[in-house]
């Protein structure tokens, strides 16, 4: 599956587009936060992290990228947007599955569970190495189990609360269906 990537203006790391905040310079509204990520006009991206937003503000990177002054209101909106990002439904859904003991975490454990048919859905970290993703999705394909790149606002390991976790298998069929529906 192809995932479009964009670069953060502050830390310059490339990430899947949906994991970045878009800022747009559009018409008479000037430079503003693009909540939809699809507003017309020249855009730039920043990570949903206080560090990156503070850095962007300090060096006036938004104005430089969009070639128009960014108003102070933009940074207020960014701060509010960031605060609102934390309890996102998909995240809490996955978090819920973890808390309820309905997940298998870690690439190796997930691969084993796919082979024994104990998981109904596999979510993987899109930033994981291509070989990891390929090995995992090949096993899932062979077993007929859906494997989706995790599309939450936070990286997968943070969403499940396990450092460096690159894959999560959902053992509960109903929860798996809900997560698939959210991805569509």
Tokens representing residue 135 in the block: 């090995």
Who's near 12: CB < 8 A, 6+ residues apart?
none
114 sits near Zn ion (criterion: CB under 5 A)? no
Q: What is the DSSP letter of 148?
A: E
The window from 6-14, 92-100, 126-134, 172-180 that contacts Zn ion (CB under 5 A) reads 6-14
11 sits near Zn ion (criterion: CB under 5 A)? yes
Nearest-angstrom CA–CA distance, 70 and 8: 16
- In the complex, the smallest distance separating the C-beta of residue 131 from Zn ion, rounded to whole angstroms, is 25
> By the 8 A CB rule, do 142 and 115 touch?
no
Nearest-angstrom CA–CA distance, 69 and 72: 9
Q: What is the 3-state secondary structure (H, E, C) of 48-100?
A: CCHHHHHHHHHCCHHHHHHCCCCCHHHHHHHHHHHHHHCCCHHHHHHHHHHHC
Contact track, Zn ion, 28-57, x by CB under 5 A: -------------------x----x-----
Find the binding residues for Zn ion in span 115-144 (CB under 5 A): none
What's phi and psi for 26, nearest 5 deg? -130, 115
8 sits near Zn ion (criterion: CB under 5 A)? yes
Cβ atoms < 10 Å from Cβ of 72: 8
For Zn ion, give the closer residue by CB, 52 or 62. 52
For Zn ion, give the closer residue by CB, 11 or 85. 11
For Zn ion, give the closer residue by CB, 21 or 170. 21
For Zn ion, give the closer residue by CB, 55 or 183. 55
The window from 11-19, 88-96, 130-138, 147-155 that contacts Zn ion (CB under 5 A) reads 11-19
- In the complex, the smallest distance separating the C-beta of residue 9 from Zn ion, rounded to whole angstroms, is 8
- In the complex, the smallest distance separating the C-beta of residue 51 from Zn ion, rounded to whole angstroms, is 7
Number of residues that bind Zn ion (CB under 5 A): 5
Binding site for Zn ion (CB under 5 A): 8, 10-11, 47, 52
């Amino acid at each position: 599956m192809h995932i479009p990537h964009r670069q953060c203006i502050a830390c310059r790391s490339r990430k899947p587009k949906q994991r970045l905040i878009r800022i747009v310079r559009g018409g008479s509204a000037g430079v503003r936060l693009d909540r939809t990520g699809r507003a017309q006009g020249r855009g730039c991206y920043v990570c949903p992290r206080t560090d990156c937003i503070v850095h962007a503000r300090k060096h006036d990177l938004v104005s430089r990228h969009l070639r128009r002054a960014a108003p102070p209101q933009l940074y207020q909106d960014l701060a509010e947007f960031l605060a609102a990002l934390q309890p996102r439904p998909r995240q809490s859904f996955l978090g819920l599955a973890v808390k309820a003991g309905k997940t298998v975490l870690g690439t190796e454990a997930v691969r084993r569970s796919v082979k024994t048919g104990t998981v109904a859905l596999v979510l993987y970290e899109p930033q994981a190495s291509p070989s990891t993703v390929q090995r995992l999705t090949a096993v899932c394909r062979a077993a007929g189990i859906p494997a989706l790149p995790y599309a939450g606002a936070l990286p997968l390991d943070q969403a499940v609360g396990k450092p460096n976790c690159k894959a999560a298998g959902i053992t509960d069929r109903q929860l798996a269906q809900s997560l698939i529906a959210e991805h569509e």
